[in-house]
């Protein structure tokens, strides 16, 4: 049976993380020639090209499989050293997690505060759209992710978190200027050409809402992109356009009159899931427990398994 030599696996990971063979050599305290030889030996052993020799170096699809293995191996080694008392005094456990911006701005950070402090965890949070956080898991860049995909990434487990609800809202001044005649006039007759705010070019919530109104062409040509959750809400409240705002962020402004419901009977619910590496890691297990508990309090619109 062909084995994967651990020194070669660790070397491949160093090249991917550092971006070049020379930088990996410095990190590993070996020569660039030794790094190159180890990578070539691993490629010969696997029978696959594992890296694209670009700047920075990128793993191929086969290389990503080895990188994921290397990251899990490093995590297991750190946990084992901690249990054996071989870590430096006070050395924390680092967890990398991918989270979508709206979860970060609402319910996710309070979940982390409920993780027992004695576990000494430090977090590296990667912000990404919920439709793309799973890609970071596949690439091995994060150990866990809040994602919209119920299909587990290879080597990961998945749990339902519930649904994040979005509301179509706009400021009173925006409604007066752009949606003249509403609500007496049906919304679909006045909203098609109104300016709209989107998170980024991947955000299709607004178009999905309009398709629900049987406006097949989606939103009009005037689109503003504001790629932070707080900035998005501020842009809608300032009257730059209408938009789909998370219910938790919209409610205070709806109560104060800073925003108006455009269609209270047409919320958009986005399912969210927690995916994580299948590892016997006390730190990762504690974070998962805290995240699921927080989602039950904040996203109580779906089942939890």
Nearest-angstrom CA–CA distance, 160 and 275 = 9
HSE, side-chain direction, 13 A CA sphere, residue 232:
25
Per-residue confidence (pLDDT) for residue 303, from 0 to 100: 38
Residue with tokens 């590296």: 124
Domains, the chain, ranges and CATH?
A: 6-68 (1.10.10.10), 92-305 (3.40.190.290)
- For residues 268 and 266, give the distance between their C-alpha atoms in angstroms, rounded to a whole number: 7
Q: How far apart are CA 157 and CA 136, in angstroms?
A: 15
Q: Which two tokens stand for residue 170?
A: 């706009």
What CA–CA distance (Å, rounded) separates 268 from 284?
31
Q: pTM (2 decimals)?
A: 0.74
* C-beta separation of 275 from 155 below 8 A: no
Tokens of 120: 């000494």
**194 Cβ partners below 8 Å, 6+ apart?**
174, 178, 179, 220, 222, 241, 242
DSSP letters, 47-74, are TS--EE-SSS-EE-HHHHHHHHHHHHHH
Query: Residues in the chain with pLDDT < 50?
Result: 1, 302-305
In angstroms, the Cα distances linking 133 to 148, 160, 178 are 8, 15, 35
Q: What is the pLDDT of residue 289?
A: 96
Q: Are 253 and 167 in contact (CB under 8 A)?
A: no
* Torsion, CA 253, CA 258, CA 262, CA 265, rounded to 10: 30
Q: Which residues contact 58 (CB under 8 A, 6 or more apart)?
A: 16, 51, 52
Q: From CA 207, how far away is CA 189, in angstroms rounded?
A: 15
Are 158 and 305 in contact by the 8 Å Cβ rule? The answer is no
3-state secondary structure of 123: strand
For residue 71, the model assigns a pLDDT of 84
Q: What is the pLDDT of residue 51?
A: 93
Write the burial class of residue 21 (CB in 10 Å: 0-12 exposed, 13-18 middle, 19+ buried): buried
Q: Which residues contact 191 (CB under 8 A, 6 or more apart)?
A: 178, 179, 182, 210, 213, 215, 242, 262
């Amino acid at each position: 049976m062909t084995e994967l030599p651990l020194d070669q696996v660790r070397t491949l990971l160093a090249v991917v993380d550092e971006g070049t063979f020379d930088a990996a050599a410095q990190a590993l305290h070996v020569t660039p020639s030794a790094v190159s030889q180890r990578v070539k030996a691993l490629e010969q052993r696997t029978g696959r090209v594992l890296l694209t020799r670009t700047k920075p170096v990128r793993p191929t699809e086969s290389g990503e499989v080895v990188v994921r293995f290397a990251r899990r191996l490093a995590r297991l080694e750190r946990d084992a050293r901690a249990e054996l008392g071989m870590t430096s005094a006070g050395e924390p456990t680092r967890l990398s997690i991918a989270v979508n911006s709206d979860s970060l701005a609402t319910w996710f950070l309070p979940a982390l505060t409920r993780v027992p402090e004695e576990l000494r965890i430090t977090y590296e949070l990667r912000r990404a759209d919920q439709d793309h956080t799973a890609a970071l898991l596949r690439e091995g860049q994060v150990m866990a992710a809040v994602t919209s995909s119920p299909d587990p990434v290879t080597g990961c487990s998945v749990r339902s978190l519930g649904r994040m609800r979005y509301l179509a809202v706009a400021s009173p001044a925006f409604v007066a200027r752009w949606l003249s005649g509403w609500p007496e006039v049906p919304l679909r007759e006045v909203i098609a050409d109104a300016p709209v705010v989107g998170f980024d070019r991947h955000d299709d919530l607004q178009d999905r809402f309009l398709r629900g109104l049987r406006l097949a062409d989606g939103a009009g040509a005037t689109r503003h992109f504001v790629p932070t959750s707080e900035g998005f809400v501020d842009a809608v409240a300032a009257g730059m356009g209408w938009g789909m705002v998370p219910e938790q962020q919209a409610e205070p402004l709806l109560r104060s009159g800073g925003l108006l419901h455009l269609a209270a009977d047409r919320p958009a619910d986005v399912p969210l899931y927690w995916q994580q590496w299948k590892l016997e890691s006390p730190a990762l297990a504690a974070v998962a427990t805290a995240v699921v508990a927080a989602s039950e309090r904040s996203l109580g619109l779906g089942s939890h398994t």
